[in-house]
Amino acid sequence: MKILVTGGAGFIGSHTVVALHEAGFEPVIIDNLYNSNLNVLDGIRQITGKDFPFYEIDCNDPEKVRALFEKEKFDGVIHFAAYKAVGESVQKPLNYYENNLISLMVLLRAMKEFDVHNFVFSSSCTVYGQPEKLPVTESTPRQPATSPYGNTKAIAEDIIRDHVYSAPGLKALSLRYFNPIGAHESALIGELPNGVPSNLVPFITQTAAGLRPSLTVFGSDYDTPDGTCIRDFIHVVDLANAHVKALDLLKEKTEADHYDVFNVGTGEGYTVLQLINTFEEVNGVKLNYTVGPRREGDVEKIYAQADKVNHVMKWHAEKTMADALRDAWNWQLKITPQK
């Protein structure tokens, strides 16, 4: 099956391209390189030995997207391409609504015109806000998003759901990711945050590599075992493999008008301090950090109940948080210019 991977030069996208190839799929990458660069394609080539078709296309460009669907006969689409910085989305909401939602609708229209029936969407646990009850299941009510970024994910899910019911034959799954961390064990691909990372693990690895003076832990007065936030940290390679399983599930589905949602998490929650301690232990490095005030908009604790993805999609996390932190550190060492 030939699969269009939008944002395929990105963090999760690049790891998914590798996983698709390993599972016998034929990935085609489009990316506008806004939050990535061409070196990622070298890393993918070194891992797989393959030069997958790559087109530098912005998914917001209907003509370019249409021409691509005309040229390549796709069997499915995995849609990663989106702006994803929570803080930035608060500063530039129109950019986020325009980019994340127009690109989605351009793709859905092209899929309808060219009769492409399988769609996997990159959603986020951020749609749950701060859940009342934990762990979070797929029927945990979505809460009003705490950022325009999160709102684009919730709106996108609704657009896909409504479109699926109007487009006979289209089958779509929204995968609600928890916190993706780590890198490929080869250290040939990983997370390439442009500028100051907002996510925890790249900030940790850059601090440990001496690129930043210290990490600030945002708050230690939460109602958790050590006072710091709880998250469900999932290895990016496990997450990539979940997309292969999602396509396998869609292939099995025959009924039209099929739409479903899956939480893709390990099912375990760890605190920020537990992650920091694990990072120091597995890598034998001391991390310079201080505890500061809470970060506006942070959810106190969230982690997945993974029963549905385990039993229906037949996927479960195989790597541990320690594996992810070892791989993240090896990747950081690889990309940090030696002094």
Whole-number Å distance between alpha carbons of 149 and 93? 8
CB 275 within 8 A of CB 303: no
**Window contacting ligand WQD (CB under 6 A); options: 110-118, 216-224, 248-256, 325-333:** 216-224
Shortest spacing between CB 85 and ligand WQD, in angstroms: 7
Shortest spacing between CB 161 and ligand WQD, in angstroms: 19
Could you say which residues in the range 75-104 bind ligand WQD, by CB under 6 A? Answer: 84, 86
Phi, psi of 192, deg, nearest 5: -115, 75
Where are the extended beta strands (E) located within the chain?
2-6, 26-30, 54-55, 76-79, 118-124, 171-177, 179-181, 215-218, 230-231, 233-235, 258-264, 270-271, 289-292
Shortest spacing between CB 3 and ligand WQD, in angstroms: 21
Whole-number Å distance between alpha carbons of 149 and 98? 11
Q: Does 198 bind ligand WQD (CB under 6 A)?
A: yes
Do you find a cis peptide bond into 225, omega within 30 degrees of 0?
no
Q: Does 138 bind ligand WQD (CB under 6 A)?
A: no
Please identify which of the residues 96, 128, 149, 303 carries the catalytic annotation: 149
Q: Is 96 a catalytic residue?
A: no
Letters for 276-315 (x = contact with ligand WQD by CB under 6 A, - = none) are: -------------------x--x-----------------
**Half-sphere exposure in the Cβ direction for 208 (13 Å, CA):** 25
Letters for 219-238 (x = contact with ligand WQD by CB under 6 A, - = none) are: ----------x-x-------
In sequence order, what are the residues at sequence separation of 6 or more whose Cβ sits closer than 8 angstroms to the Cβ of residue 35? 10, 83, 84, 194
Interface with ligand WQD by CB under 6 A: which residues? 84, 86, 124, 126, 179, 198-200, 203, 215-218, 229, 231, 272, 295, 298
Active-site positions? 149
